[in-house]
Amino acid sequence: MQHEQPTTIVAILGSDTVVGRTLSLLLEGYGYQITLLDSYPTGIVDQLLDGAHLLILIPRVDEDVREAFLGAMGKSIPQRASMPVIALSTPVEEGLPEKEGVQSVPWPCKTKVLVDRIEAALLDVPAASTAATTRDRTR
């Protein structure tokens, strides 16, 4: 009997934008489940990320919102602090200060490039927290 691989859940901060919505549809096509977070989320960050394995910050999310969101990760659930984060950045945003633990990916990019970076980021997470995150690569 063949067991189905668990689905990797990707949270997208800024999903209320055209880029965020489009990105969520593209990633769903690669087998990811998406948790949509508005550009100005309300609520406890760790609860908003419940079940997510990785966070993507879309381009042009307000810098203060981005910093506050990243700073709040892990405050109520310490394991969230080690969640992989990928920030999609436009040439205009490349001069923004880097945040430790946040990988920058140039935007726009090919979907396959982003998927490869997601998979690489998930592999860098300690084994105990990624045991259920590897998605089926039969696509």
pLDDT tens-digit map of 13-37: 987 788 889 999 999 999 999 999 9
CATH number for the domain spanning 35: value is 3.40.50.2300
pTM of model > 0.85: no
Residue numbers of the domain that contains 32: 9-130
Tell whether 119 is covered by a domain: yes
Amino acid residing at 57: L
Hey, what amino acid is at 120?
Answer: A
pLDDT greater than 80 at residue 104: yes
In a domain, 103, yes or no: yes
In a domain, 106, yes or no: yes
Residue 139 lies in a domain: no
> What pLDDT score does 92 carry?
66
DSSP alpha helices (H): ranges in 7-137?
18-29, 45-48, 63-72, 111-123, 127-130
| Within-domain flag for 84 | yes
Dump the DSSP string for 103-124.
EEEESS--HHHHHHHHHHHHHT
| Domain count along the chain | 1
**Rounded to an integer, what distance in angstroms lies between the CA atom of residue 25 and that of residue 33?**
10
How long a stretch of residues is the chain? Answer: 139
The two three-digit tokens of residue 55, written as one number: 């966070």
